Chain A
């Protein structure tokens, strides 16, 4: 479990995650609590050690994008949980669009019905 926060004041669910994790790394961007830096950097180190079989990620889009690239680069299976503003939540309004990889074409799928968890190879974020 790699749990990243901006700084100490934003840290939540530390004990809960620690209790269910074999390995637990907590980071803050400014180093005010836990390890200093982005959680993904510590994930990368462990991937390089060969300790990671799969990645499941949720969080802000820039972070997910970085995780998606890391998974692609290291060829580790990865699933990401996306958030998007929803109107209906049942696949009707088409509000919560996310682009999927479809070559030259622009194709959208929708977080509410097709997601929210996607294989990181499928979506273009």
Chain B
């Protein structure tokens, strides 16, 4: 079976990627799985300068899901290019860097650096709910997404995917912003902003109070938003969800592929 796909200009041998933040830069998981089997790896959110991340507790379990507030802890793009990228390049898989920043200038500076690297694409993170400035602040409106994306587009020749936040009234607005600014694709969803209370301590469980909700609990929201965005834009969509087993993965792929054939467009 030919599983090759071209997602937003990134030719992958199969449509399976890993969502940013769930896989680090691949090193830890390489002890458990063969990275060569993946169509692509989307790295942990990477910023221009290193970020220490948020205070603990950073994660907590919820019903059918979990909250996280990592705060984009990452070693910075310079460390990535000198350490993780040469290592990742040893594998037969596409490398897509999730790029995050706190201001338009920072996104642009980072994009300039990324443009010089041996990577296959950039996922623009306009959707992290856990940092005060930037990210999600840009991602919630048509104008915000369009502005950052078009500035980045000017300096980035590589395939550009914009990662959307679900914390909006109408997901099609930021999606159209990305498309109109020249993005090659969109990925969705990032986590839903949530909060959990420790009743004994009478305070939120997470030190940052709020965090992003992921897991089986949010899957229907993700599916709904992919459906809505698919009708609103013409660029490809990278659907981010949990694949807990192969059977389910095949089923989703089959159903989404069917919808692609109808629309002459692929959803992954």
Q: Which residues of A contact B (CB under 8 A)?
A: 84-88, 90-99, 105-108, 113
Contact = CB atoms under 8 A, between A and B. Distances in A.
Contact of A94 (B29, B53, B61): B53
B23 interface: yes
Interface in B57-76: 57-61, 66, 68, 70, 73
A91 B28 contact: yes
Given A90-B32, A96-B56, A97-B55, 14 more contacts: A86-B59, A93-B21, A94-B44, A94-B70, A95-B58, A95-B59, A95-B68, A96-B59, A97-B58, A98-B56, A99-B55, A105-B52, A106-B52, A113-B28
B9 interface: no
B214 to A, nearest CB: 10
A107 B76 CA distance: 13
A27 B109 CA distance: 59
Nearest to B52: A106
A99 to B, nearest CB: 8
B66 A97 contact: no
Contact of A85 (B24, B31, B58, B73): B58
A97 B9 CA distance: 37
A97 B73 contact: yes
Contacts of B56: 84-85, 96-99, 108
